[in-house]
Structure formats: structure tokens, C-alpha cells
Amino acid sequence: MSVIIDDTCITCDACLQNCPVNAIVDDMHNPTGESRYYVQPEKCIECVGIYDDPQCAAICPSIGCITWDMPYTSEYETHYMQNDLYAIGKSKTGKLLSPSHRAKKYKEDIPLSDRGVGKEVQEEPEELEVG
């Protein structure tokens, strides 16, 4: 990851339609069995190189539903591989697409202190400066 969808998801389908790399699956195909949409961390690139910000969060109507997760890199192997929140997919040859095997791009300008703590991706609009 990445970003993560929490249980305030209202299964509206908007994010799935907006993801440029098809990283999102619907509630019927969520590999963890939860009744919410699911971001596959082994596919999500945080929209890096395509858009300035995650497009799933930009369109999500449930404010706060999509939050920053840890980078999908080998440093966070344990976070992704030993956690019921995720069900990491396999390659066509059957190899687990773990962070150490298939690291993904992530937004380096998002500090680690904002990741994995429920910090929403969708920011409130900035207040207009007067004068």
C-alpha cells in the first residue's frame, strides 16, 4: 500500500471505478471476507506517476474511510504478511506477492508518522486565505 479502506465503506463502487491500476476489489471479492471494498496492497501504487493524489480517496463519499497505510516495501513485510487485515495475492507462478518480493511505489512526501494510524487520505478543503 498504500491506502486502506475501513468499515465506514458504504460499498458505493466509486473508488473501484477510479483506480488507475485496478487495485480495488468489491465487497463480494474482498479476500479477507469483510463486507467492504478492499485495496490490494500488492497492486496499489498510491497513484504515483499517474495522479498527484490517490484517486480512490478523492472520489470516496464516506469522509475518512480511506486512510494511509505503510509503504509496501520490505521494511514492512511483517505488517502485511502477519495481519488479518490483508490477504496478499499470488503471481501467476504461485509466488506470494509479498512486499519483499514485489515492492510498490508510494508517496514519499507522506510522513511515516501519518501512516498506519488512521490518518485520512482525503483532506478537508484548505481555507481560503483572505487578503
Binding of residue 13 to ligand SF4 (CB under 6 A): yes
**Helix, strand or coil, per DSSP, at residue 9:** coil
14 binds ligand SF4 (CB under 6 A): yes
- What does DSSP assign to residue 58? H
For residue 77, the SS3 value is helix
Q: Distance between alpha carbon 30 and the CA centroid of its chain, in Å?
A: 13
Shortest approach of ligand SF4 to residue 1 CB, angstroms?
Answer: 7
Residues linked to residue 81 through DSSP beta bridges, in sequence order: none
Binding of ligand SF4 at residue 12 (CB under 6 A)?
A: yes
Residue 90, amino acid = K
Q: Closer to ligand SF4 at the Cβ: 124 or 129?
A: 124
The least distance separating ligand SF4 from the CB of residue 3, rounded to whole angstroms, comes to 5
Half-sphere exposure of 80 (CA within 13 A, CB side): 29
Residue pair 56/25 in contact (Cβ under 8 Å)? The answer is no
- Amino acid at residue number 25: V
Taking CB under 6 A as the rule, which mask of x and - marks residues 97-126 in contact with ligand SF4?
Answer: ------------------------------
**x/- binding map, residues 43-72, to ligand SF4, per CB under 6 A?**
-xxxx------xxx--xxxx--xx------
Residues that bind ligand SF4 (CB under 6 A): 3, 5, 9-15, 18-19, 21, 23-24, 37, 39, 44-47, 54-56, 59-62, 65-66
